[in-house]
Structure 1
Amino acid sequence: MQTRALQKPGKLKRMLIMIGLVLLLIAAIVGIKWWTISTMIAGMKPPEAPTVTTIKASYEEWQPALGAVGTLRAVRGADLALDVAGVVTRINFQSGAEVSQGQVLVQLRDDDEVAQLRQAEAAAALAKVTFDRARRQLDVKAISQADYDNAAADLKARQAAVQQAQAVVAKKQLRAPFDGRAGIVTLSPGAYVNAGTPIVTVQQLDPVFIDFHVPQRSLGELKTGQRAAITLDAFAGRVFEATVSAIDPKVDNDTRNVRIEASAANPDGVLVPGMFANVSVDVGEQARQLTLPQSAITFNPYGETVFIVKPSAKKGPDGKPEAPTAQQAFVTTGNTRGDQIAILSGLEEGTEVVTSGQLKLKNGTPLRIDNSKPPKNDADPTPQEQ
């Protein structure tokens, strides 16, 4: 029993020594790890400042405009067809050619109808001779009034028959209803066509109409005679001048939009019906607006912001000022035009603002400014630039 009591302090001592060694080992490992990490951190270069582009907010003259997408329509256009069936004998125009009002475009076989017309004309001529003779005889009381009336009635009937035969012959011809450009014709002489079958389209292309729609809230800004600008993807960089020519007197019950018609000169005929066009109608008076590229605006659920460039008052080891930093600011935006957007509040003229690279920024981020390739800032870009 006494021997066991003496052994307990020895075991406790050995246990304490082992615990101390373990703790010492852990401390050594932690120290080595801390020293390694500290050395790595000390050897790391500070992160480079993100590269951004900037621009200074400036005032520009803005012409308020109402934008829409429209469709071109000919001032006059028709798909032509014949009233009667028949065999084509002549086609008197080329596909895509200019045609004149009244010009015979397609002729059907009309031999029988022309013969009947000649017969009716001969009968009318004989009735005219008979009527003239009856009138002279009536003057000398050689015939009765009844005989004269019969001769007059016969003449009118024969003349009506001529007109009827002429109408039948005319239906064998397809004529241009107005000056314009003919479409593509696929008929050939000898082909049989049915009544009512479309043969060719004729479109009068100068001027052309542009139909577009605007919301009812914009109706008060529009009136006939206002200037409009038309651009099309097919003619990049070209702007066609137009004028608002008509405003529909009612609002569509389903869309609550109003149909507007504009007219544009088209002397070279490059604008053709059915084309889509971008329409911009000048509304209101010109005004000075503080302007930035749209790319400078960051849209967030809590508002629209920009990053302002704040110069640093500190100097680096080389004695030069340190890199400027970013500072986020809330702004209120207005209308847009092309690549630009109007700033209504939140900025002052001359404030330098970041225009690209905002995703890498937060308040206080140092900036590296490179404006060698700035974002587009065109008030009236061509469709290819947008």
Structure 2
Amino acid sequence: MNQVNQLHEAKKSASQKGVQSKRGKNLLIIAIMGVIAIGGYNLKGYLLAKEGGWAYPPAKVALFDAQYYQLPNLFEGVGELEAINEVWIASEVSGRVESINFESGEVVQKGQLLVQLNDQREKSERARLVAERHYIETQVKRYERLVKEKAVDVSKYDEAYSQLMQIDASLANIDAAIAEKAIRAPFSGTIGIKQVHLGDIINPGQKLTTLVDGSEFRANFTLDEKYAEFLTVDQPAELYISALNRSYPAKVSAIDPLISNARLISVQATVIARNSAEKDIAEIYPELKSGMFVKAFVEGEAIDALLIPETALTYTIYGSSVLVMQKNEDGSEQVKAVRVEIGEKQRGFVEITKGINAGEKVVISGQHKLGDGAFVEVVESDTLSFEVPQFAISNMATQ
């Protein structure tokens, strides 16, 4: 009985699989027929369009007139910001910290005592040398008098005087050692966070804190060697600091005469005020901090450039192209794909060096759904429409 039931179930399962397989084949045939129908419909529309009959509605696009502009010739480089004076405060000698005379973040003056190391041994040695000098100085005066009276040989005076000079040299040496134990501010500025504590034993060269004079800021950056011949001192520059999303005016203050092995030239530009107010840069731009990453633009002589928005370009492995609008005799508008060569890119615009002429209208939106020869409808306004670039000055009329 069980064998009969199993046989019955097997036949039933096979029957269901056959039905499912047949249903799947039917669905596949329907899908293929749908694709063929759509293709035939599109082909019919294409043929009717060629015969002057029915066609798909033209795509709506926005255009831009290619024109010549005075384009600032900007040399771009990257670097970092630095203050006119900035230093790690460190000790020249080893010793134990006896006193710390500053608070983190406060303004200090040039020569102000910052950290005092234990100098008792040096002071004791100095006291001994002072006493010894006093004795030898007395001897020198005595021998000087006796030499005049010819009571002693002049060599006695010379020997005592030599000892006096040696004592003076030893005193100068011990004074220098005592000065090294008193760590002072080399210039006025803002002190950083202290990295030392009372009682610490420090070693020569150990960093104790930072000191920054932010009265003036400079940017150090590099440019390609091809720009070397166009660089001059006092040349206008612009420093863009990405962390602040803001640009600052500057001027070139120094140019390194040596080209690096990486074929780069080092340039330094000084931040300047936008007005003539006689204030420190730190007061005018308090947000600037030493070490900030900057993108520098040095302004060279302006060039005449044929500009279009970068959105008009279509990039392929074969090169760049744009769609140029053309009007037919019947008033219809079509686009033509044109291969172009590009030059400088600035703030959303690109220079066209070959391929189109001034006055031609290029498609700046909607080109992703167009092909060569497609019919279009021009719209007056579009979310991607562009105005004349603010950084360029119109230089030439339509040619």
Please list, as runs of the form range in 1=range in 2, the aligned pairs for 1:1-386 lying within 5 A after superposition.
47-252=56-261, 255-265=262-272, 267-268=281-282, 270-283=287-300, 285-311=301-327, 314=330, 324-362=333-371, 363-369=373-379, 371-374=381-384, 378=389
Contiguous gaps of at least 5 residues in structure 1: 1-33, 315-320, 382-386
- Deviation track 1:188-216 (CA, whole Å, cap 9, x = no partner) reads 22333233321123344454443333333
**CA contact under 8 A between 2:60 and 2:376: conserved in structure 1?**
no
Partners of 1:375 and 1:273 in 2: CA distance? 40
Contiguous gaps of at least 5 residues in structure 2: 1-36, 46-53, 273-279, 393-399
**CA contact under 8 A between 1:51 and 1:370: conserved in structure 2?**
no
Partners of 2:224 and 2:230 in 1: CA distance? 11
Partners of 1:181 and 1:275 in 2: CA distance? 17
Partners of 2:248 and 2:59 in 1: CA distance? 40
Question: Alpha carbons of 1:57 and 1:250: their partners in 2 closer, same or farther (altered >3 Å)?
Answer: closer
Q: SS of 1:136's equivalent?
A: helix
Question: Alpha carbons of 1:256 and 1:234: their partners in 2 closer, same or farther (altered >3 Å)?
Answer: same
Give the Å deviation of 1:241. Answer: 1.0
**CA contact under 8 A between 1:306 and 1:330: conserved in structure 2?**
yes
Give the Å deviation of 1:106. Answer: 0.8
**CA contact under 8 A between 2:225 and 2:259: conserved in structure 1?**
no
CA-based RMSD: 3.3
Q: SS of 1:238's equivalent?
A: strand
Partners of 2:66 and 2:228 in 1: CA distance? 33
Partners of 2:71 and 2:236 in 1: CA distance? 15
Question: Alpha carbons of 1:86 and 1:147: their partners in 2 closer, same or farther (altered >3 Å)?
Answer: same
Partners of 1:210 and 1:229 in 2: CA distance? 10
Which residue type is aligned with residue 311 of structure 2?
S
Equivalent in the alignment of 2:28: none
Give the Å deviation of 1:162. Answer: 1.7
Partners of 1:48 and 1:121 in 2: CA distance? 106
Partners of 1:194 and 1:251 in 2: CA distance? 36
**CA contact under 8 A between 2:215 and 2:281: conserved in structure 1?**
yes
Partners of 2:391 and 2:78 in 1: CA distance? 16
- Deviation track 1:161-183 (CA, whole Å, cap 9, x = no partner) reads 32222122112121233444432
**CA contact under 8 A between 1:295 and 1:375: conserved in structure 2?**
no
Highest CA radius of gyration, 1 or 2?
1
Count of paired positions: 333
Partners of 1:250 and 1:241 in 2: CA distance? 23
Partners of 1:154 and 1:164 in 2: CA distance? 15
Partners of 1:347 and 1:87 in 2: CA distance? 76
Which residue type is aligned with residue 159 of structure 1?
D
Give the Å deviation of 1:344. Answer: 2.9
**CA contact under 8 A between 1:52 and 1:370: conserved in structure 2?**
no
User: TM-score under structure 2 normalisation?
Assistant: 0.72
**CA contact under 8 A between 1:90 and 1:189: conserved in structure 2?**
yes
Equivalent in the alignment of 1:317: none
Partners of 1:365 and 1:125 in 2: CA distance? 108
Which residue type is aligned with residue 367 of structure 1?
E
Partners of 2:143 and 2:385 in 1: CA distance? 95
Give the Å deviation of 1:259. Answer: 3.2
**CA contact under 8 A between 1:326 and 1:367: conserved in structure 2?**
no
Partners of 2:182 and 2:119 in 1: CA distance? 9
**CA contact under 8 A between 1:337 and 1:379: conserved in structure 2?**
no
